[in-house]
A = this chain, B = another copy of it.
Amino acid sequence: MLFFTQCFGAVLDLIHLRFQHYKAKRVFSAAGQLVCVVNPTHSLKYAPTRCAAAQASTEQGILPPCHHHEAVHDPQLVPCMCPLFSCPWEGHLEVVVSHLRQTHRINILQGAEIVFLATDMHLPAPTDWIIMHSCLGHQFLLVLRKQEKYEGHPQFFATMMLIGTPTQANNFTYRLELNRNQRRLKWEATPRSILECVDSVISDGDCLVLNTSLAQLFSDNGSLAIGIAITTSKVHSSEAEM
């Protein structure tokens, strides 16, 4: 009986170690902050009609009707807004998170402040690094994209989208921070709603923008660490102080 108990204990330890090893591969703690290693994914572009339709619907205050699908069953359905894939999925806003986790294997991290460590920054554009961040009772999507707005000159664009409505998004402020080599760059803004198109946020340049040379100054061994913090949007009340 003792033998079986010991065997069972050993099996449990092995499972625990295996789980710890798996966690360590993607998440580790540095100086008390949660660091998430995010691997790149080669970006597949949206069909322009999809993006335009979603954008127009959001501006009118209604949910996007998914014109790219042959039949629209329900105007309350949201198409998959994951910028990585031309995904035919559509569903209610409440199930977007589970769709992104289960179908696109996007990690979700808890915590007020996390560090997003994007690997392989040298990969050619277009490339995306994506993670979900659960904070203050909501889920956010962080997108870092390497893209050539001007041919032959790739740039990095980082933004945060709320998995919620534009009205809900207005209640928050997100901060992205780069800190290395005696240089610090901080970007603070109100997150956009996931119902708006990430492509248009990036093409408008209304996000953190890094030239390749600046990205190299902030990166370490091909990886770029971005500190992320989300707060309620009282921070901007100090705008008038400047």
Chain A interface (Cβ < 8 Å from any Cβ of B): 31, 33, 115, 150, 153, 173, 177, 179-180, 182-190, 204-206, 209, 211-214, 217, 225, 227, 233, 236, 239-242
Tell me the interface secondary structure of chain A in the complex: strand
Tell me the minimal C-beta distance from A189 to chain B in angstroms: 5
Q: Is the CB of B209 within 8 A of A204?
A: no
**16 pairs, CB–CB < 8 Å, chain A vs chain B:** A33-B242, A115-B242, A173-B182, A180-B239, A182-B236, A183-B189, A184-B186, A184-B188, A184-B189, A184-B239, A185-B185, A185-B188, A204-B213, A205-B212, A206-B217, A209-B211
Q: Is there an interface contact between A186 and B189, defined as CB atoms closer than 8 Å?
A: no
Given contacts A209-B211, A211-B205, contact A189 B179 (CB under 8 A): no
The CA-CA distance from A240 to B33 in the complex, in Å, is 11
Known: A182-B190, A183-B206, A204-B213. 9 other contacts (CB 8 A): A150-B153, A182-B189, A182-B233, A183-B187, A184-B188, A185-B185, A185-B188, A206-B214, A209-B214
A187-B188 contact given A217-B206, A241-B31, CB 8 Å threshold: no
Bound together, the chains give a CA A235 to CA B159 distance in angstroms of 26
Nearest 5 pairs of A and B residues by beta carbon:
A205-B213, A184-B188, A186-B186, A150-B150, A183-B189
Evaluate contact between A214 and B205: CB separation under 8 angstroms.
Answer: yes
Give Cα A238–Cα B190 distance, bound, in whole angstroms: 26
Chain B residue nearest to A30 (CB atoms) is B242
Smallest CB–CB gap between A19 and chain B, Å? 27
Query: How distant is the Cα of A179 from the Cα of B236 in the complex, in angstroms?
Result: 9
Do A182 and B239 form a contact, CB below 8 Å, given A150-B153, A153-B150, A206-B217?
Answer: yes
CB distance from A237 to the nearest CB of B (A): 10
